[in-house]
A and B are shown apart, each in its own frame.
Chain A
């Protein structure tokens, strides 16, 4: 094990500034489905601009609830939660532009089944800019090209595999060019080829993609496999047993004595006694 940071991680870290993007102080996260269930308590977390976070946890550890709270889709039960200095969740119409600087890609996509892929991707553009379908065509074509979804443009979400649904959801979120991108388990249920595409694409976004004119963006992902994000993410955290713990950089992940961190770091190598 090495104590030095991965070369890519160092490069990514240079993109990060100290401007706080997401701040949580003593936050209590509850389950969206059952508000009586506490997912995590006393969460203290700060995401700075340009950072790439990977939040690890097992299934049912509350990763989805956590990331939905971070995205402002649901309210926190206790504590302070801010996005770019403004109290979350942001609902007033006048703060909408501020709110749209943050994008969320759901696990599985959560596409609108009554719309085609192209209509799904175009919806946020049409809604927020009040444009007819014809006027969003160039932006739509760019997003379809960017995510390799061109051939699925006219397909309904239910006619596609999960991996393509997830890509369509990414394209839909990127349509509004959010400065902060949150992704809930983007690698879950994907084959190796799809995983490689996602890892490369997100790394590129974090470092500065031509779609953003080379400007790096802040990325937060949840995962059940820390190893996949080695050298890509530059900050790591663990969500388990109702606690949210910031681990640090990859070197800190490797040094961690927490058996769960070790398990999530290299699941294939862990011996399981059944």
Chain B
């Protein structure tokens, strides 16, 4: 008489999604704690194997992305300055060009764009590599050889991506600040390089440097953690890897934005 399954109501759907979100947060949180635990308890262990892996990860999520980041820094400088020059000229506030660059590029867009690009280029690769390793039994093979998969597969990625993201953000910010001045110069803004540098220096505080380092390393670690979790944490079949990759990207974007929001709050408290 009645259908075997009642149609899903909006409330049911919302509830299910909410609980799924809670379980995911719990899973990623536990995975992060285990990773940090392994990092501390196995610090210096098998350094002849782990160090080359960390270097490889830094190269993959840092050095190899540099050409793309040079292009991105030029584009970012143009985007921000292009919009700002016309706006600030109208109200006679061109002197704030350096301040705008610090607020927009150094504090916000630089780290966030870097994290998203690293996620797109390296994070997705992580899920596919680790998901394949999981599906083809490589993880069990590591365990059988007495090698902790978290130590061999996850720790180098987390450390390498944290350092790589930090380095790339610095390059992106420097590139954007330089290209920003060049675009301003081409648009006829009457400002000498010395004045521009002065504006930048007066807008930067020690908090910016400290937060920039923490934030960028944090972004790298968050991206690595979320993508490694989706590649490794549960047994996967090869056909499930594409779905896991999509899930990982969506969750890593959300995690990065939340992490960024946390820093905005911290910045407001500290400053």
- Contact surface of A with B, Cβ cutoff 8 Å: 32-33, 68, 71, 73, 93, 96, 99-100, 103-104, 106, 108, 110-114, 123-124, 126-128, 130-133, 169, 172-173, 176
Q: Can you report 5 A-B residue pairs in the complex whose CB atoms are below 8 A from each other?
A: A32-B235, A71-B144, A100-B146, A131-B48, A169-B141
- Which of B49, B136, B147, B235 has the largest number of chain A CB atoms within 10 A? B49
Shortest B62–chain A CB gap in Å is 19
A73 & B140 in contact (Cβ 8 Å cutoff): yes
A126 & B147 in contact (Cβ 8 Å cutoff): no
B138 & A130 in contact (Cβ 8 Å cutoff): no
Chain B contact residues (Cβ within 8 angstroms of A): what range? 20 to 34
Interface string of B248-264 (1 = CB under 8 A from A): 00000000000000000
Shortest A34–chain B CB gap in Å is 9
B140 & A32 in contact (Cβ 8 Å cutoff): yes
Question: Do most interface residues of chain B lie in helix, strand or loop, or is the interface mixed?
Answer: helix
Report chain B residues within 8 Å CB of A73: 140, 143-144
- Contact surface of B with A, Cβ cutoff 8 Å: 41-42, 45-49, 129, 132-133, 136-138, 140-147, 152, 235
- Excluding A93-B41, A111-B138, 5 further A-B contacts by CB distance (< 8 Å) are A32-B235, A33-B235, A104-B144, A114-B129, A130-B49
A127 & B152 in contact (Cβ 8 Å cutoff): yes
- Which of B136, B141, B143, B147 has the largest number of chain A CB atoms within 10 A? B141
Give B132's nearest chain A residue, CB to CB. A113
Give A89's nearest chain B residue, CB to CB. B143
Alpha-carbon distance between A124 and B45 when the two chains are bound, in angstroms: 13
Alpha-carbon distance between A114 and B147 when the two chains are bound, in angstroms: 16
Contact A68-B48, Cβ < 8 Å, known A32-B235, A123-B147: no
Contact A126-B140, Cβ < 8 Å, known A93-B41, A96-B146, A172-B145: no
A110 & B141 in contact (Cβ 8 Å cutoff): yes
Alpha-carbon distance between A68 and B235 when the two chains are bound, in angstroms: 15
A123 & B143 in contact (Cβ 8 Å cutoff): no
B46 & A124 in contact (Cβ 8 Å cutoff): no
Alpha-carbon distance between A32 and B49 when the two chains are bound, in angstroms: 28
A112 & B235 in contact (Cβ 8 Å cutoff): no
B46 & A128 in contact (Cβ 8 Å cutoff): yes
Shortest A172–chain B CB gap in Å is 7
Report chain A residues within 8 Å CB of B49: 123, 126-127, 130
User: Which of these, A123, A130, A172, contacts B47 with CB under 8 Å?
Assistant: A130
A106 & B146 in contact (Cβ 8 Å cutoff): no
Report chain B residues within 8 Å CB of A132: 48
B137 & A128 in contact (Cβ 8 Å cutoff): no
- Which of B41, B46, B144 has the largest number of chain A CB atoms within 10 A? B144
User: Which of these, B45, B46, B141, contacts A106 with CB under 8 Å?
Assistant: B141
